[in-house]
Amino acid sequence: MPELPEVETMCRGIAPIIGREIERVEVPPCHCRPITIEPSVATIDRRLRGRPVTAIQRRGKRVMLCFDDQSRLVIEPRMTGLVLLADPPDPDHLRLRIQFRPPSIPSADAPTELLLWDRRGLGTIRWMSEKDYLEKVDSRLGPDAMCITAEELRQNLAASRRPIKVALLDQSAVAGIGNLYAAEILFLAGVDPRTRCDQLTKPQWERIHPAITWVLRDAIEHEGSTLSDGTYRNALNDPGNYQNMHRVYDREHLSCPRCEGGVIRRIVQAQRATFFCPGCQRKSGRHPSVSMPDNCRD
């Protein structure tokens, strides 16, 4: 966490800062280990002071504040990072504050600052020129999971000998999918997460691609998943709602929501927990109990 739906929710939540000019960039007092900020905060402050935020973009699991010289502030939340317009969950893990100049037309709704909060301190913040971003970030990521075509998905993964669940986490093949949503996608598609990519049938690939789009869109609509630790919050410090829609993730030993008699199982793949139903996610391919939602389309 956070994955594509959570990061997309962050981007949409901080959209009100578009057009606002930066007044100051600073690091608040914090006794926790510092997160990675490159270059120095003083340099970032000098380069961004007085510049308006021209756009908010997402690339995979990264939030990007874009500026008129084509530079951008690239924020990678990783495990516990949040991008907030409201007060943070606590002041102890506040890592960066970006203050804005008052708008030309006073408004009570205009945000005064953007806060970057990170409990574990694993996130990164990097100011990058357009050249650096294209070379060091964009070129290393595959097509975005919300935009990848069925043909691109198969081209990038079909020859791999990795299990499909592990392969979906490869950001150089498809950007944005993480552990939670890979499990939900494969359940919806009725595909055993242990199946090697090069052993998947054409019908299985044809179910995986629309399942990616459907699951991610649904999760974005519900503003992401806030798990039991309560860490993930949207830009206004409110929890997401998609955790209430999970079909398999973190539901070990519970009944399968799709097939009669199925029980959700937990295994470990690439040092990460995978949840699936052995009853309707079979390596043999299509199973009578597997059906896609009516509104699940490419």
pLDDT at 289: 46
| Cα 233 to the center of its chain, rounded Å | 13
Residue 61 designated active-site: yes
Distance separating alpha carbons of residues 141 and 175, to the nearest angstrom: 6
Cβ-contact 210, 292 below 8 angstroms: yes
pLDDT at 50: 96
Q: Which of 2, 77, 163, 193 is catalytic?
A: 2
Distance separating alpha carbons of residues 142 and 154, to the nearest angstrom: 13
Residue 26 designated active-site: no
CA-closest candidate to residue 186, choices 160, 157, 154, 212 = 212
pLDDT at 125: 98
Query: Looking only at Cα atoms, what is the longest distance across the chain?
Result: 63
Q: Which of 47, 61, 126, 247 is catalytic?
A: 61
Pairing relation of β-strands 124-128 and 36-38?
parallel
Phi/psi class of residue 116: alpha, beta or left (left: φ > 0; alpha: ψ in -120 to 50)? beta
Residue 3 designated active-site: yes
pLDDT (tens place) for every residue of the chain, 298 residues total: 799 999 999 999 999 999 999 999 999 988 888 899 999 999 999 999 999 999 999 999 999 999 999 999 999 999 999 999 999 999 999 999 999 999 877 776 789 999 999 999 999 999 999 999 999 999 999 999 999 999 999 999 999 999 999 999 999 999 999 999 999 999 999 999 999 999 999 999 999 999 999 999 999 999 999 998 889 999 999 999 999 999 999 999 999 999 878 999 999 999 999 999 999 998 766 554 455 666 554 4
Residue 206 designated active-site: no
CA-closest candidate to residue 184, choices 214, 156, 154, 221 = 214
pLDDT at 298: 45
pLDDT at 288: 46
Q: Which of 49, 97, 272, 283 is catalytic?
A: 272
